[in-house]
């Protein structure tokens, strides 16, 4: 069924993209409720986090239970820079990405020779350590109290206050992040990273500098998460260490796995469904977690790769085009 759906998605790709883009742009005018917009904004931010984690976990194949750490580092960087030093939004965004990227580098260098589960465990501990630092480095992070009254985003003297404005900001950031990750996947670097995921030794035998490309993927992935963090702190105006826990890391990873490792569309899907679902289930209060959990268990039983994990849209597209070309060729003969 998913295969059929995927083929359908590919076949009507252009139309669907245009419709989605239109809906996205019009969304804040269709729904003006503050609550709905807030959920939509968080949803888009989670999409961005998932797309960035997917680069590390799905494309490179290094499962990370610590992605919220990079998100938090970005959030704290932006909060401190804009509150204490009066940096503007764009500068804070770039710096948040750079600092998160540096931590990504720091994390990736020593663990690069660790395989599989070891890396995963290190990411888990990394997230803990970052949180402990956030709690205890009072002078910088204001400890468990968090940072309050972070200045709102402003462009050229205009301060963004409405939900609508933030919706468009995160929509743009998500589009940019998706564009970057897509570009990478379809480039020479993407082939190298995917080859490393499939077979490290064979990748090395193809002349691929395995170490270098692993670092690239991890650093870019953490930079994008840092950028999402910057958005988060400027949007909510308040962050504290409890925003960036291991539990949140797990949630992001669950979204990515739910949608399917390595599939960007899957990440969108996973993030959207798993952000909206808990809200929809709010009415059921006590059964909420149960339904949520049951859904995940069923999915993992039926599709262990996640919904779109075994789907490769590029390949479907190539096969469709090839089929068409062959049919067309036969027609002329």
Task: Please give the residue ranges that form the binding site for other proteins (CB under 8 A).
Answer: 187-188, 191-192, 194-195, 197-199, 201-210, 262, 312, 315, 318-319, 322
Smallest distance, other proteins to C-beta of residue 315, A: 6
The token pair at 257 is: 């796995």
Residues 56, 62: contact at Cβ < 8 Å? yes
Q: Which residue is listed with tokens 């190539």?
A: 318
Task: Report the alpha-carbon distance of residue 333 to residue 106 in Å, rounded.
Answer: 61
Residues with Cβ within 8 Å of residue 270, at least 6 apart in sequence: 50, 254, 255, 256, 257, 258, 259, 260, 306, 307
Angle subtended at Cα 227 by Cα 223 and Cα 228, rounded to the nearest 5 degrees: 120
**Closest by CA position to 79, among listed 108, 99, 109:** 99
Nearer of residues 3 and 199 to other proteins, judged by Cβ: 199
Q: Judged by CB, which is closer to other proteins: 61, or 226?
A: 61
The CB-of-303 to other proteins minimum distance in angstroms stands at 16
The residue behind tokens 């963004």 is 160
Contact predicate 45/171, CB 8 Å: no
Q: Which is nearer to other proteins, 250 or 310 (CB)?
A: 310
- Please report how close the Cβ of residue 225 comes to other proteins at its closest, in angstroms: 25
Please check whether residue 69 is in contact with residue 207, taking contact to mean a CB–CB distance below 8 angstroms.
no
Is 161 or 314 the residue whose CB approaches other proteins more closely? 314
121 versus 210: smaller Cβ distance to other proteins:
210
Least separation in angstroms between CB 10 and other proteins: 13
Query: What are the structure tokens assigned to 84, written together?
Result: 């204490």
CB of 235 to other proteins, least distance (A): 34
Kindly give, in sequence order, each residue whose CB lies less than 8 Å from that of residue 310, ignoring residues fewer than 6 positions away. 260, 303
Q: Smallest Cα–Cα separation from 244: which of 234, 232, 235? A: 232
Q: What is the closest distance, in whole angstroms, from the C-beta atom of residue 283 to other proteins in the complex?
A: 41
Q: Which residue's CB is nearer to other proteins, number 35 or number 325? A: 325
SS3 category, 159: strand
Name the packing angle between helices 163-185 and 210-236 (round to 10°).
170
Shortest Cβ distance from residue 259 to other proteins (Å)?
17
Closer residue to other proteins, CB minimum distance, 34 or 182: 182
């Amino acid at each position: 069924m998913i295969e059929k759906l995927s083929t359908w998605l590919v076949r009507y790709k252009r139309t669907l993209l245009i419709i989605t883009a239109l809906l996205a742009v019009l969304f804040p005018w269709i729904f003006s409720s503050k609550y709905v917009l807030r959920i939509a904004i968080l949803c888009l931010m989670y999409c961005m986090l998932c797309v960035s984690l997917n680069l590390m976990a799905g494309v490179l194949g290094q499962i990370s239970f610590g992605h919220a750490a990079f998100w938090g580092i970005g959030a704290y960087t932006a909060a401190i820079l804009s509150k204490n030093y009066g940096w503007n939004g764009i500068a804070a965004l770039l710096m948040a990405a750079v600092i998160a990227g540096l931590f990504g580098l720091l994390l990736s260098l020593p663990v690069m020779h660790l395989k599989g589960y070891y890396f995963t465990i290190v990411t888990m501990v990394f997230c803990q350590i970052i949180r402990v630092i956030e709690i205890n480095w009072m002078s910088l992070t204001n400890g468990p109290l968090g940072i309050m009254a972070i200045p709102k985003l402003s462009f050229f003297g205009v301060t963004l206050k409405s939900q609508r404005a933030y919706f468009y900001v995160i929509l743009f950031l998500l589009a940019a992040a998706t564009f970057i990750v897509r570009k990478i996947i379809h480039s020479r670097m993407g082939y190298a990273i995917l080859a490393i995921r499939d077979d490290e030794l064979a990748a090395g035998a193809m002349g691929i500098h395995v170490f270098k490309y692993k670092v690239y993927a991890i650093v870019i992935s953490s930079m994008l998460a840092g950028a999402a963090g910057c958005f988060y702190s400027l949007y909510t105006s308040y962050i504290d260490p409890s925003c960036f826990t291991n539990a949140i890391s797990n949630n992001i990873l669950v979204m990515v796995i739910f949608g399917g490792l390595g599939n960007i569309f899957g990440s969108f899907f996973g993030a959207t469904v798993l952000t909206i679902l808990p809200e929809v289930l709010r009415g059921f209060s006590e059964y909420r977690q149960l339904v949520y959990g049951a859904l995940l268990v069923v999915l993992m039983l039926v599709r262990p790769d996640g919904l779109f994990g075994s789907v490769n849209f590029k390949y479907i597209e190539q096969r469709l085009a090839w089929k068409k070309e062959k049919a067309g060729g036969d027609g002329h003969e």
